[in-house]
Structure 1
């Protein structure tokens, strides 16, 4: 087995201040589905949409995400539809949808904890 074949998939883990609020944001505003929760009371959850999984964990420190760097770049098939849904659901759009010089059409959103997520499609 080569090194390439040994890797299956990955997950991003976002430490969040309010787990229920984050689950609500990803499921009700972005169309993800909660597929896992852990802890009593719950302190870890997974939301998924298609092949994209985001793990959410209750933040235990005071750290804040970067306001200047993306935390996650998600490649999508219908960028216009997703952009419209985000606007209809009052998602905070940081940079609106446009064609970029790196041959992508994309836009950036900010989640309730300040994580910058970019959704893009090859232009």
Structure 2
């Protein structure tokens, strides 16, 4: 039996509703949980493989150094999807010297999200 099940990042954001709607509408996630009205905590999921949690916070320093890496099975397909959905792609798709094919987007709160797959 595996001792660990899964993990999820919790990103502090000023507006949980806006964050979850952005991830749904632009990045193709499903909103799976909102707590309170208006929401102060929320969860989005993509294909039951990637979960991201959001918690309400007014601290602007969180995004300064935070970066999320999402591993995918087809970097080019996700890149094409995100180009069409108007995601803010801040680094184009490329092959790195550390053997990853990846690109970087920035969400509405300034979080950098690297999308990639080993090559």
Structures share fold, TM-score greater than 0.5: yes
Question: 2:58 matched to 1:63?
Answer: no
Question: 2:68 matched to 1:72?
Answer: yes
Shift in Å, 1:40: 2.9
Look up the match of 1:40. 37
Aligned-partner Cα distance in 2 for 1:81–1:6: 33
Unaligned runs of 5+ in 1: none
Aligned-partner Cα distance in 1 for 2:92–2:16: 27
What CA RMSD, in Å, does the superposition of the two structures yield over aligned residues?
Answer: 1.5
| 4+ aligned runs moved over 2 Å, structure 1 | 60-64
Aligned-partner Cα distance in 2 for 1:59–1:21: 13
Look up the match of 1:118. 114
1:70–1:118 contact (8 Å) kept in structure 2: no
Unaligned runs of 5+ in 2: none
What pairs up with 1:14-33 in 2 under 5 angstroms? 14-33=11-30
Shift in Å, 1:28: 1.0
2:105–2:114 contact (8 Å) kept in structure 1: yes
> Per the alignment, in what secondary structure is the counterpart of residue 6 of structure 1?
coil
Aligned-partner Cα distance in 2 for 1:117–1:56: 15
Question: 2:91 matched to 1:95?
Answer: yes
Shift in Å, 1:64: 4.1
